[in-house]
A and B are shown apart, each in its own frame.
Chain A
Amino acid sequence: MMRYLYLLLFCLGTVLQALAQQNFPVNGVTSTYNAVHAFIDAEIHVDAHTSMKRAILLVKNKEIINVGQSIDIPENAIIHNLEGAHIYPSFIDPYTNYGLLEVENTKWNPRPQLESNTPGAYSWNQALMPEFRASENFSPNNSVAESYIEMGFGTVLSFRNDGIIRGASAVVSLADGKAQELLVKINNLAHYSFSKGNSQQNYPSSFMGSIALLRQSIYDAIWAKHNNDYSNLSLVELHKILKLKPIIELDNHYAIRNATALGEEFKMNFIIKGLGDSYLSINDLKNTKSQFIVPLNFPKAYNVSDPYDCLDLSLEKMKHWELAPANASLLASVGVSFAFTAYDLKDKKDFLNHLRKTVDYGLSKEAALEALTTVPAKMLNIADEYGLLKKGMKANFLIFDQELFNPKSELLENWVHGVGYTIKLKNEHDYRGSYILKIDGAILPLDISGTPENLKAEITTKDTLKVSFKVENKLVHISYKDKYNDVIRLSGQGIDPIEGEGQLANGDWVSFVMKRKAAFVEIPKEKKDNKQLFNVDKVTLINEMGEQWAPNMAYGWTEKPKQNAVLFTNTTLWTNETEGIINNASLAIYNGKIIAVGNEAVALIRNKYDFEIIDGEGKHLTSGIIDEHSHIALRSVNEGSQASSAEVRMADALRPNDINIYRQLAGGVTSAQLLHGSANPIGGQAALIKMRWGASAQEMLFEEAKPFIKFALGENVKQSNWGAYSRIRFPQTRMGVEQVYFDAFTRARAYEKEWNTWFKLSASQKKTSKMPRKDLDLACILEILKDEREITCHSYRQSEINMLMQVADSMNFTLNTFTHILEGYKVADKIKAHGAGASTFSDWWAYKYEVNDAIPHNGSILNDMGIVTAFNSDDPEMARRLNQEAAKAVKYGNTSEEDAWKFVTLNPAKLLHIDATVGSLKTGKDADIVLWSNHPMSVYSKVEQTYVDGRLYYSLELDAENRLRNNTERTRLIQKMLADKNEGKAIQKIKKDRSYHFHCDTKE
């Protein structure tokens, strides 16, 4: 990139005119003159919707002094003749790290870090940096600025991409100059994320922990302000930046939901910086108030040439590859307002191409231009000076040789604050054509072809001679080897003729003249046609555009299953009610509910609806399996960095596109409780879901569920198997665990008292009184004491089971469920007396020291003692065979078949307090039912149909259709990617999907 020479001369003058910098000393004499620049004859795009042909743009100093078609040009104006060119406002990137030091990754340290290493009276947590100000750290960087200027940007927002609270950003100009001159706006936007970034501090270790920390911090800032407590500088600064417009960076479209919820909690309307996959949450965005920052970054096609290696490439990645360029147009189609950013774009040269691609994929040109100009200008509160070409606005504009969206169009100049940057220097004259070169008595035919920027010349005598033909500052350099292999060098001027002098190989100087004899004729390139590469069918495959599936991956729906009226006849019903197991019976469902159980009841409504009839002869119909202990469909599982993480909510970390949801439907599972892991004594708030494959995270949650929290005892909570370094976080023994509970419940009671006192104060008293601190951890623990939240406690050894019951008794509450509870059989009498239920494994043992005394008869003993007993999975594979696990209660403990079946259906429903709606075949309950090919607990039985809310989410037939659809779609996309490869487009290596195989002790 070159700057205009004359502008460089005046640059200093411009600097000195800036009011704020008048106190800067000048090293030399002061220039005071500012010339007017007149850009004439171009088509000027004043904004995305308005353009003027053959218009004039007048610029002086940093500003536009006039724009229009019939305006006077001052006599002394410097004229820029731009016939045929297009002028646009320069782009604004609302998301960059320009001018800030790159955040260096700190080395991973295996030693736990419980406290912050940051010096100063700042936050306890290193991931919170509300005190950071981009303006205080900004230093212009020419080479980075150039890369943005070359893409067409004039102004950018700059923030530091580290931490959960990232402080305030600055809007800066990309022009040359000192930081003081370039700051356009400071401290008007605040930045957040759900990723702790570079902090090595243990907390937060999970996604839901990040959200909890962010929420707690905001409450703390408000609290500190109320109490006039300025001791914590981070809280003081956080309170300040809370008033700014907030931007939050997300790593996944599912997190949009988290940002929206956070926004509602704190009345913050977040601008959402997504990752280019926001279209996947399009159904949730129809009424969004949030603006988006959309990266113009699309994945390249993958290298799919090896059919086996290609297996590692998931259909969701392939589908996203195809649909990613449509992200912007899909957002626009539901009325979402967004700005584009070049953030995330690795090769900045792709920027304009990607912009044009979004238009090819359906975004209007106007919307695309707005997303680069007026929308970000408003977003950054600089619309009064940037984003439009109007009198009085800053002179930030782009000169393109053709209309911007024309794929051949090139950015020639980018003017920033009245300073022009040449991006592409076009030769003023097209030298191509056929010439006659006269030199030293010889007459040689000389052809110039190629492109105007990259000329190719040759002398076309019998033996074609290669010629070097270069134009430099209006002088023409020619050199070639003649037939004697002597080099002849010429330098001339002019266009037609070109005249000048040169030196022969013998050293003699001669003059030459070159006359044009014919103009250049372009021979159109042969275009490669896909049809030549593939047969016709494949071409249709390639040209087809895929639909978005729900979820957009293998086994995703093209159409959501419907609630039909279905009648099952002549089958065996496992009612889980007093009727027990009924043979040769019927059952009807309608509108998501069971409406009749048994032949008599069915007869009454038989003609009321138009039933689909399923002949259940030889088959068994049961209520759906409910898994009390699962870690599927989550993006993280443990916030184990502190003894209590009651503040974290598993519902925040839902991952509704987990294929295990579909797989478990195939195993007859209709509901699962998604639990926090067992890394600490007080875990997180549980999420109960129905297996509504294809639904959003919010839709997946079980509506009527009572809140639960996970507790844990034993080896995991004392970090027994965490390696040699993890020996410092309290507790490290079972003795410590007891104290964690006493402490937590004692503090929760005190917390309640504090707040009760506060609530009794009058409004005026409140103003002058110290407000108690809202503590998300204690607030949750208090819910337990107030019987608003139940506990399910991961437990093995009898001593600690008894301990926790003692704690509960002394604090006057009841434990709802002991989960895993492998030594439950040793203390079944005490559990019964306390009133807790049990959710255990059928036959697991010997994987940890503490499960040495686990026995497969455990469930049966507990059940025999009259304790509500369930079998859980804690494992995504075994979860789909919980029917077989139930059978083991029959095998090992002689439990009756009917009772054993309840271990995985009605009993977990009771433990979860959802037995009023699910868990048995009863009129009025949800139609969460499963049709089995055989006795449901037989190893030879298969699920034939699984319904959730009366919707058929799995059946053998549907599954076969889904597999066919998967493979057709894969085949189509593979051919499409191969076509990209054959066209020479850039491709990327295959990346395997991240595996999310969580157990209780997964450390994240």
Chain B
Amino acid sequence: MTKMKNLLFILSTLFALQAFAQTPAPDQSKRVLLYGATAHIGNGEIIESSLIIIENGKISTIEDASKIRIDISDADYYDVIGKHVYPGFILPNTTLGLADIDAVRASRDFDEVGELNPHIRSIIAYNTDSPVLPTIRTNGVLVGQITPQGGMISGTSSIVEFDAWNYEDALYKEDDGVHLNWPQSPRLDRNHNHSEDSKVEYNDDLLDLEHFFNNAKSYYLSNKPKLDITFKAMEGIFDGSKQLFIHVSSAKGIKQAVLFAKKMNVQKLVLVGAEESWRIADFIAENETPVILNRVHRLPTYKNDAVDMAYKTPKILQDAGVLFCLDYEGDMERMGSRNLPFTAGTAVAYGLTKEEALTSISLSTAIVLGIEETVGSLEIGKDATLFVSDGDALDMMTNRVTLAFIRGKKLDLGNHQIDLYNKYSQKYKRNLEIENGLE
């Protein structure tokens, strides 16, 4: 095993692009005991000094450690007194694994040709060996919704765990939803004008969408004489087995999207992006539409907007009673998504409580994605997908993940970058030793 690791190490440094991710962890064999950490449940509650027992990949016990007697024999016992334990953070709406390096076209696999592609499935392009993945989980992000981009309907996403040999292993929920990019209104022409033409184009886009949805629904209600793979992929939208994720940023667009989904009898609608949701938070709350809010570390939409508008949007949604969670879509979203916890931290500086902010990247995300039965919080019976940090995981100064589990499997927290760090630290250490005549 050690030899194997060395070999991998050498390969990874020689052929940087082909760098391998860390070896996936074996299934849990022994009971795991985490003793003494402050447990952040994910639902707003905290247990100051907790005991967590993991059995068969599930949380079997989570209690105040002082109230319980434990048997540590035949168990992997971890003294984590003074540390913090969190549910694994969940990254919705991400292209992680669908590309490794933005600038290398051959590595990009998230945008298929075509406008209406519900049948496109992200999961088959998901690269479990993407060298980016291990650098994300070292900050506590353990689960993600792998989402295609581009076109009007970009395709179908799937939810994965960030530790697997292949995509089949990685799957947590297959084909969880279809992603629709709402047409821009008013569309701007090349000179940034609101032109009348663009309004017509926008209306055309909406008509196209309506037409497409009507056909999809008709197909769903028919006895399906012939298989139509496009409309087949849309069925779940109408029977509730798939969610419809509408990616839309403007206030006007959000309203139109919500009304459209109602008209089309879409069973489960989720708004994605929703940068301007703060303008119409009450409308969204009244319609009980969940929101995956675009990256908190974002510039305001307009010059006129408050400079901290993006930072304080989570608080506005929280106060309005909107179910929301945070994503990291945008520039350099894959490598940058290890900063997801810190965007939640920023939301704390601008109004949320720390536990509310935590919920927005754990339990709320699980609820929005429909996986809250098994993941998203530290509760008995749920998957032991969790991690331990030396300090507050939402603050970059103290986020130091020392232990992480996905369904009880203990993760290798190394990564390509740590390997390089160690390698070059050796170089200078050796140089220093030579200088000092120690060698």
Contacts from A to B (Cβ < 8 Å):
308-309, 311-312, 314-316, 553-555, 659-660, 662-663, 666, 715, 720-721, 825-826, 828-829, 843-849, 852-857, 861, 864-865, 875-878, 880-881, 884, 887-888, 890-891, 893, 897, 933, 935, 937-942, 959, 963, 966-967, 970, 989-994
B131 with A970: CB separation less than 8 A: no
A891 with B424: CB separation less than 8 A: no
A662 with B297: CB separation less than 8 A: no
B17 with A959: CB separation less than 8 A: no
Q: Which residues in window 71-121 of B have CB below 8 A to A?
A: 100-104
Which of B338, B396, B428 touches A884 (beta carbons < 8 Å)? B396
Interface 1/0 per residue, B392-435 and A, CB below 8 Å? 00111111100000000000000001101100110110010000
* Cβ distance B266 to chain A, nearest Cβ, rounded Å: 23
A contact residues around B350 at 8 Å (CB): 942
Which of A314, A315, A846, A941 touches B132 (beta carbons < 8 Å)? A846
A847, closest chain B residue (CB)? B102
B421, closest chain A residue (CB)? A857
Cross-chain pairs A/B with CB under 8 angstroms, 11 sampled: A312-B188, A662-B307, A843-B338, A846-B332, A852-B17, A891-B396, A891-B400, A937-B396, A939-B348, A941-B349, A967-B304
**In the complex, B342 has a CB within 8 A of chain A:** yes
**In the complex, B273 has a CB within 8 A of chain A:** no
B302, closest chain A residue (CB)? A311
- Docked Cα-Cα span, A508 to B431, in Å, equals 124
- Knowing A715-B103, A856-B417 are in contact, say whether A847-B16 is a contact too (CB < 8 A): no
B421 with A663: CB separation less than 8 A: no
* Cβ distance B30 to chain A, nearest Cβ, rounded Å: 31
B contact residues around A864 at 8 Å (CB): 428
- Knowing A659-B303, A938-B397, A939-B396 are in contact, say whether A846-B335 is a contact too (CB < 8 A): yes
Given contacts A663-B307, A848-B101, A891-B399, 16 further A-B contacts (CB under 8 A): A312-B186, A314-B304, A663-B299, A844-B336, A846-B132, A847-B102, A852-B16, A852-B101, A875-B331, A877-B297, A884-B396, A887-B397, A897-B397, A970-B304, A990-B193, A993-B192
The 9 closest A-B pairs by CB, nearest first: A939-B345, A992-B192, A308-B252, A846-B335, A855-B417, A852-B16, A848-B103, A857-B421, A659-B303
Which of A554, A941, A992 touches B188 (beta carbons < 8 Å)? A992
B contact residues around A854 at 8 Å (CB): 417
B contact residues around A893 at 8 Å (CB): 421
* Cβ distance A800 to chain B, nearest Cβ, rounded Å: 16
**In the complex, B191 has a CB within 8 A of chain A:** yes
- Docked Cα-Cα span, A844 to B331, in Å, equals 11
A884, closest chain B residue (CB)? B396
A990 with B194: CB separation less than 8 A: yes
Q: Which residues in window 332-360 of B have CB below 8 A to A?
A: 332, 334-336, 338-339, 342, 345-346, 348-350
A939 with B303: CB separation less than 8 A: no
* Cβ distance A1001 to chain B, nearest Cβ, rounded Å: 9
B330, closest chain A residue (CB)? A877
Please give the number of chain B residues whose Cβ is less than 8 angstroms from any Cβ of chain A in the complex.
61
- Docked Cα-Cα span, A453 to B203, in Å, equals 45
B17 with A890: CB separation less than 8 A: no
- Docked Cα-Cα span, A959 to B308, in Å, equals 10
**In the complex, B306 has a CB within 8 A of chain A:** yes
B contact residues around A967 at 8 Å (CB): 304
Which of A666, A861, A942, A992 touches B349 (beta carbons < 8 Å)? A942
- Docked Cα-Cα span, A845 to B306, in Å, equals 30
Contacts from B to A (Cβ < 8 Å):
16-17, 19, 100-104, 131-132, 186, 188, 191-196, 250-252, 297-304, 306-308, 331-332, 334-336, 338-339, 342, 345-346, 348-350, 394-400, 417-418, 420-421, 424-425, 427-428, 431
B335 with A844: CB separation less than 8 A: yes
- Docked Cα-Cα span, A849 to B17, in Å, equals 8
B311, closest chain A residue (CB)? A942
B307 with A309: CB separation less than 8 A: no
Which of B17, B252, B342 touches A309 (beta carbons < 8 Å)? B252
Q: Which of A855, A864, A963, A991 has the most CB of B within 10 A?
A: A855
Which of A848, A878, A990 touches B102 (beta carbons < 8 Å)? A848
* Cβ distance B339 to chain A, nearest Cβ, rounded Å: 8
Which of A311, A315, A887 touches B396 (beta carbons < 8 Å)? A887
* Cβ distance B199 to chain A, nearest Cβ, rounded Å: 10
- Docked Cα-Cα span, A847 to B338, in Å, equals 14
* Cβ distance B153 to chain A, nearest Cβ, rounded Å: 24
B contact residues around A829 at 8 Å (CB): 427-428, 431
A contact residues around B304 at 8 Å (CB): 311, 314-315, 554, 966-967, 970
- Docked Cα-Cα span, A178 to B283, in Å, equals 70
- Knowing A308-B250, A309-B186, A849-B103 are in contact, say whether A857-B428 is a contact too (CB < 8 A): no
- Docked Cα-Cα span, A865 to B424, in Å, equals 12
Which of A939, A990, A991 touches B342 (beta carbons < 8 Å)? A939
B103 with A876: CB separation less than 8 A: no
* Cβ distance B430 to chain A, nearest Cβ, rounded Å: 11
B contact residues around A828 at 8 Å (CB): 424, 428
B394 with A939: CB separation less than 8 A: yes
- Docked Cα-Cα span, A505 to B195, in Å, equals 54
- Docked Cα-Cα span, A877 to B346, in Å, equals 13
B contact residues around A852 at 8 Å (CB): 16-17, 19, 101, 131
- Docked Cα-Cα span, A628 to B251, in Å, equals 37
* Cβ distance A957 to chain B, nearest Cβ, rounded Å: 14
- Knowing A553-B303, A663-B307, A853-B16 are in contact, say whether A861-B424 is a contact too (CB < 8 A): yes
Which of A715, A847, A887 touches B335 (beta carbons < 8 Å)? A847
- Docked Cα-Cα span, A967 to B158, in Å, equals 43
* Cβ distance B308 to chain A, nearest Cβ, rounded Å: 7
B428 with A861: CB separation less than 8 A: yes
B contact residues around A721 at 8 Å (CB): 103
B100 with A846: CB separation less than 8 A: yes
A963, closest chain B residue (CB)? B306
A contact residues around B188 at 8 Å (CB): 312, 992
A contact residues around B131 at 8 Å (CB): 846, 852
B contact residues around A888 at 8 Å (CB): 396
- Docked Cα-Cα span, A880 to B334, in Å, equals 21
- Docked Cα-Cα span, A309 to B199, in Å, equals 11
A877 with B192: CB separation less than 8 A: no
A contact residues around B335 at 8 Å (CB): 844-847
- Docked Cα-Cα span, A286 to B38, in Å, equals 66
* Cβ distance A368 to chain B, nearest Cβ, rounded Å: 32
A721, closest chain B residue (CB)? B103
B contact residues around A308 at 8 Å (CB): 250-252
B398, closest chain A residue (CB)? A891
* Cβ distance A318 to chain B, nearest Cβ, rounded Å: 10
